[in-house]
Amino acid sequence: MSDTEIRLHADETELAAATAARLITTLADLQADGRVPVVALTGGGVGTEMLRQVAQSAARGTVDWRRVEIFWGDERFVPGDSDDRNAKGAYEALLDRVDVDPTRVHEMAPSDGDFGDDPDAAAAAYAEIVAGIDAFDIVMLGMGGEGHVASVFPDSPAVHDTRSVVAVRDCPKPPPTRISLTLPTIRTADQVWMIVSGAAKAEAVGRAVGGASEVDVPAAGATGRVRTLWLLDRAAAAELPGEAAS
C-alpha cells in the first residue's frame, strides 16, 4: 500500500484548478513515456469543476486526448439523458470540448440502455470492460460527508464485495440505484486521488486519514498501489490528525 500524501488548497476554486493542472501534467507525462493513460473520472461539484478547468486550460493541448482511456468510478443508474449521470456532466464540462476517441470512453450503462432496468447485468458488463485493462493509472474520487467513495457507502454490502464492479441498491442518497467500482478494484490503481472540499466533510476526512475502518468510512480503504493523494481545500482539512495536517 502506498504512503498517503496530502495537498492543501485555499478553497474549492483553487482545489479544482490545481487538480486540473495536475491531471494534465500526469497524462502528458504518461504519454511521453509511450503509455496510453487509463483514468477513472469522478462526478460531484468539485470533480466536474475540475474537468471544466481542464477544458479551459491553455495546457490541455499537451495531452493527446484520443490516446486516453476514460472510465468512471461510479454512475447513477438512471436514463442516459438524465442530469444525474456523472457521464453527462463530464461530457458537458470536458469531453465534448476535446478530441476524444469514442471507443476509449467507457460509460456505465444507463437504465434505458442495452441491459434495460437491470443494474446487475450493467455492472457485469462493465466488469468485463475493466478486466480488459492492465490497471488504472489514476482513479479520481470524491467523498460524501459520511465517508462514502464512488457508490460504496458505510456498512453497505458493497463495502464487503470482492467483485470488480457491483450494482448498488438502496443508497442513502438519491438516486438509490447505482453502479460502482469496488474498493478492491480502486486499490489496483497506481494512483488514487481523493478530491474533497467543504467543512461538512472535514470529520470524515480526518477519520479516513486517521485510519478508520473502511467498513465505517469507505474512503479509508481507497488507496493506490503507488500513490494516494488527498487533495483538499482548507475547510475539508480542518479535522486532519495532527501529523497529517503538518
Predicted pLDDT of residue 132? 97
- pLDDT-based confidence at residue 243 (cuts at 50, 70, 90): low
Q: Residue 3: its pLDDT value, please? A: 81
Number of neighbouring beta carbons within 10 Å of residue 174: 9
Q: What percent of the chain has pLDDT over 90?
A: 96
Phi and psi at 75, nearest 5°, equal -155, 145
Residue 17 in 3-state DSSP?
helix
Task: List pLDDT tens digits, range 187-237.
Answer: 999 999 999 999 999 999 999 999 999 999 999 999 999 999 999 999 999
pLDDT attached to residue 24: 99
Q: What tens digit of pLDDT does each residue of 97-142 get?
A: 999 999 999 999 999 999 999 999 999 999 999 999 999 999 999 9
pLDDT at 207: 98
User: Which is nearest to 1 in space by CA: 182, 240, 184, 245?
Assistant: 184
Structural domains in the chain, CATH included, are 4-238 (3.40.50.1360)
Per-residue pLDDT tens over the stretch 129-184: 999 999 999 999 999 999 999 999 999 999 999 999 999 999 998 999 999 999 99
Instruction: For residue range 52-83, list pLDDT tens digits in order.
Output: 999 999 999 999 999 999 999 999 999 999 99
Residue 246, pLDDT above cutoff 90: no
Residue 242's pLDDT band, with cuts at 50, 70 and 90, is confident
Bridge-based pairing of strands 38-41 and 4-9 is unpaired
* Confidence (pTM): 0.96
Enter the C-alpha cell of residue 199: 467543512
The cell for 31 is 504519454
**What is the Cβ-side half-sphere exposure of residue 38, based on CA atoms within 13 angstroms?**
15
Judge whether residue 245 has pLDDT over 80.
Answer: no
